[in-house]
Amino acid sequence: MIDLSGISEVMQRIQTIENRFGIHPSGGAVNFQQTLQTEMKGDKATPESSQHLLSGGIRTHAGTGKQSASTGMMDTMITSAAKKYGVDPRLVSAVAETESGYNPKAVSDAGAVGVMQLMPDTAAALGVDPYDTQQNIEGGTKYLKNMLDNFGGDVRKAVAAYNAGTQAVKDYNGVPPYAETQNYVNKVLDLYR
């Protein structure tokens, strides 16, 4: 049985956040309080689903079940971009966590930038500023959607292409035999599940 003793406080906090950002049940945006109430009826929630819902449906901060203000805003950006491009927000979140640990200031040795680790040329082709967090997430989500479309919705191939490039996945008809890409795909899919 899950300890639900603090659930009313959490639901009040969610309502405050929803009100602050104008999220209403009839407005088309996700109403997390309503989702939480639905999931909690009959004590059918699992520890994993409770943590998932308490984190706004995407993730928690440092495994504590709590979010910082910037974490909540990041989740909102991810959810918005995912909805815009028709990608599961959990997949976008898994890619963001694997790419940068959600760090908007991350820069790789290869020059990839931001939360979704966009290369400057890729960002330019997508029409986004990779140094702007919201645009970076939008661009990465759009790119991920392109990879999903290129590979007929095959998440494994799309994630591999996000890391290694479309041509490498086509050349090997699947995840390329590169240790980095194989580890990357496994980590994203583990987070996504």
Q: Integer distance in angstroms from the first to the last C-alpha of the chain? A: 23
Domain count, the chain: 2
Residue 90: inside a domain, yes or no?
A: yes
Whether 64 is in a domain gets the answer: no
What pLDDT score was predicted for residue 13?
Answer: 64
Q: Check whether residue 80 and residue 42 sit in a common domain.
A: no
On whether both 2 and 43 belong to a single domain, the answer is: yes
Residue 63 lies in a domain: no
Same domain, 46 and 141: no
Q: Are 145 and 116 in contact (CB under 8 A)?
A: no
Task: Tell whether 66 is covered by a domain.
Answer: no
- Quick check: is 99 in a domain? yes
Q: Which of 82, 61, 58 is nearest to 70 (CA)?
A: 61
Is pTM beyond 0.75? Reply is no
Cβ proximity of 131 and 105 under 8 Å: no
Which is catalytic among the residues 18, 97, 99, 138? 99
Residue 11 sits in the same domain as residue 104: no
Query: Rounded to an integer, what distance in angstroms lies between the CA atom of residue 74 and that of residue 102?
Result: 8
Looking at the fold, whether 29 and 87 belong to one and the same domain comes out as no
Structural domain includes residue 59 = no
The mean pLDDT of 34-51, rounded to a whole number, is: 39
Domain that holds residue 2: 1-54
Tell me whether residue 126 is in a domain. Answer: yes
| Residues 46 and 80 both lie in one domain | no
Residue 177 in any domain: the answer is yes
Alpha helices of the chain — where are they, by DSSP H? 7-20, 32-40, 47-54, 69-85, 89-100, 120-126, 133-150, 155-164, 166-172, 179-192
Indicate whether 34 pLDDT > 70. no
187 and 94 fall within a common domain: yes
Q: Is 180 a catalytic residue?
A: no
> pLDDT of 162-193, one tens digit each?
999 999 999 999 999 999 999 999 999 999 98
Q: Same structural domain for residues 93 and 12?
A: no
